[in-house]
């Protein structure tokens, strides 16, 4: 396996990488700066400020982008105009991660700033912008992704140290939650992505690694990253055969961990799937 460091420690809290042809490649967020970072073909990085905090983003079918911002969503149109969609007004809870399902809905999850147990929720926003609360009692809502056939969803509430799996149905949503795997040594699963063979790749935020689990929960690949706080990963490149990995400096001693906040790329021998887009 070949791992390459693509940038220096340019993000305080790098998160939420997404590859989309609509964007011309890879984008990710520097969450607490409220910035979106874009990787150019020559390796340079462009930074664009979006909001006070931006936790996740996905392309929209109609053009533009949906962003998960501090207390709701921000809808950017193809014309660049921004429309806020607030979801709550509590100042102690913020957005943390989000993804789209195979039916074009955007799911976004939260966490309390002080990480209060059970204070967070996972929300589902339809193309008609109707908002439903899908899960409650969460502590740190994190990675979410769907199986290649769209019948299963994988989800991380980081504080549980587990990767959960749900049955997925367009009408019922997420049902029949069970544990796919408990991460060894009480590891903290963060962002995740699913490859075209059904493997689940999840960042382990306190172990400097990305794990691949089979759909049966067996660990069959570990990507070791030279930065401790690994936050998320996604497949990209023209053939979706490159795994991009984000890292963070939050709560990290950067004198001991100088690569924290850098972007990495690994060749892992499998391909990912095209990003699911928001139909709203």
**Catalytic residue numbers, as ranges:** 190
CA distance 245 to 232: 6
Rounded Cα distance, 40 and 56, in Å: 20
CA dihedral 89, 63, 240, 245 (to 10 degrees): -30
Beta bridge partners of 25: 20
What does the alpha-carbon distance between residue 119 and residue 209 come to, in Å, rounded to a whole number? 27
Q: Which long-range contacts (CB under 8 A, 24 or more apart) does 212-219 make?
A: 212/268, 213/163, 213/180, 213/181, 215/147, 215/152, 215/180, 217/163, 217/179, 217/180, 217/181, 219/181, 219/184
For residues 115, 116, 117 and 123, what is the CA-based torsion angle, rounded to 10 degrees? -70
Q: Are strands 14-20 and 72-76 parallel, antiparallel or unpaired?
A: unpaired
- Answer whether 26's CB lies under 8 Å from 18's CB: yes
User: Is 160 exposed, middle or buried (CB count within 10 Å of its CB: 0-12, 13-18, 19+)?
Assistant: middle
Whether 179 and 164 have beta carbons less than 8 Å apart is answered as yes
């Amino acid at each position: 396996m070949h791992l390459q460091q693509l940038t220096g420690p340019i993000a305080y809290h790098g998160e939420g990488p997404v590859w989309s042809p609509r964007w011309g490649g890879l984008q990710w967020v520097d969450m607490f700066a409220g910035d979106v970072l874009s990787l150019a073909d020559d390796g340079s990085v462009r930074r664009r400020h979006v909001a006070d905090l931006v936790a996740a983003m996905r392309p929209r079918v109609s053009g533009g982008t949906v962003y998960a911002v501090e207390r709701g969503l921000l809808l950017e149109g193809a014309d660049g105009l921004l429309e806020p969609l607030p979801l709550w007004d509590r100042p102690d809870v913020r957005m943390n991660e989000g993804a789209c399902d195979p039916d074009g809905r955007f799911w976004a999850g939260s966490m309390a700033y002080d990480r209060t147990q059970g204070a967070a929720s996972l929300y589902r926003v339809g193309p008609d912008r109707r908002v439903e609360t899908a899960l409650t009692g969460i502590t740190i809502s994190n990675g979410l992704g769907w199986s290649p056939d769209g019948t299963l969803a994988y989800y991380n509430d980081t504080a549980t140290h587990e990767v959960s799996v749900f049955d997925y149905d367009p009408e019922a949503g997420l049902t029949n939650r069970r544990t796919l795997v408990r991460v060894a040594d009480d590891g903290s699963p963060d962002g995740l992505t699913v490859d075209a063979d059904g493997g689940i790749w999840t960042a382990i935020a306190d172990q400097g690694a990305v794990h691949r689990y089979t759909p049966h929960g067996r660990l069959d690949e570990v990507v070791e990253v030279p930065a401790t706080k690994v936050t998320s990963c996604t497949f990209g490149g023209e053939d979706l055969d490159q795994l991009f990995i984000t890292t963070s400096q939050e709560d990290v001693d950067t004198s001991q961990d100088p690569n924290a906040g850098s972007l990495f790329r690994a060749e892992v021998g499998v391909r990912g799937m095209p990003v699911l887009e928001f139909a709203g």
